[in-house]
Amino acid sequence: MHYLRRDRSMFEGSYLPHHGCSNPNQSNPSGPAMPPPPERWSILARIPKVVKDKEAKRTFPPGADVSVACDEPPRASILTAPFRISPPPCLPSYPYVAAADSSGLLLLRATEPGGEVTHHLCHARTGEATCLREHDCPMGFDGANVGLMASRDSCVVAELQPSGDGSGRATLLRYTVGQYKWAVTELAYSPPLHRQWFCAGVVSHGGMLWWVELSYGLLACDPYSYKPELVHVPLPAVIDPLPGKVANLANRGSHSCVKASSGRQFTSCTVTMLREG
């Protein structure tokens, strides 16, 4: 699941106040200032719905390549794509949303019948979809290790590949929309890992992309920087770890989470769920 901020500009088109109407966020001299309205969020299902091209042309808004049916939480919103962008799901090759940004940009990963993997940058508001150019460097794009960040009129897709051989080397793959090219940057990170990197997700926060590895910490960088540098943020040690499957590093994302709020440092927690009956 992906979590998206739902504002008017994302799903309802651009919003402009009517002439002569007061701004609800301005202070009122005759009373206390009105608090800003809370942000609205949507839960986006990772696996999209795929329909035939004729159905898409009949049901999509005019000129749209994809469509997002937005629903109120806890119901999931659904991305719908036509066959010409993504073949229908089939095991083990099925399309999924590899990354999402609160601006409404989505990265859709699709596997063609011949095994070729394509990536499409989609916009939830406008319905536009653009296929990213191919790159010679092998990419994982497993959905947990790729991030997406939008900034004004540009956006960047980035995947971080930290080595697990103890060398502290990492490869950063970046595609910047508007430049129509990939960039491969070799970086260093510390402390080095002597095992496989198990990324639980990528977060766009504070002008940086944060790759979350729940047993190691966070690696972050500015994907727009000409010379990006990786920053390591350790997570608090788990004093009383949960038994069983939580000890499996590849499975920790099912029981743990990381969040930042109101300028505080990143915090983590580990939970377990028991089925009754």
Instruction: Please tell me the total count of domains within the chain.
Output: 1
Between 163 and 34, the higher pLDDT residue? 163
Give residue 112's identity as a one-letter amino acid code: E
Q: How far is CA 91 from CA 51, 54, 94, 95, in A?
A: 17, 24, 6, 10
Whether 232 maps to a domain, the answer reads no
Mean local confidence (pLDDT), 105-109: 92
Whether 276 maps to a domain, the answer reads no
Whether 103 maps to a domain, the answer reads yes
Question: Residue 115 carries which DSSP code?
Answer: S
Strand 76-82 to strand 49-51: parallel, antiparallel, or no bridges (unpaired)?
parallel
Q: In whole angstroms, how large is the CA radius of gyration of the chain?
A: 21
Least confident window among 165-169, 190-194, 239-243, 244-248: 244-248
Six token digits for residue 246: 């939580």
Whether 42 maps to a domain, the answer reads yes
> What pLDDT band is residue 241 in, cutting at 50, 70 and 90?
low
Contacts of 246 (CB under 8 A, 6+ apart): 252, 255, 256, 270, 272
Whether 105 maps to a domain, the answer reads yes
- In this structure, are residues 10 and 39 in contact, taking their beta carbons and an 8 Å threshold? no
| Domain enclosing residue 8, as ranges | 1-21+38-131
State how far the Cα of 248 lies from the Cα of 196, in Å rounded to an integer.
12
DSSP readout, 217-261? EEEEE-TT-SS---EEEPPPP-SS---GGGGSGGGGGGTEEEE--
DSSP SS3 for 106: strand
Whether 185 maps to a domain, the answer reads no
Residue-wise pLDDT for 196-231, tens only, equals 998 888 888 889 999 999 889 999 999 999 999 999
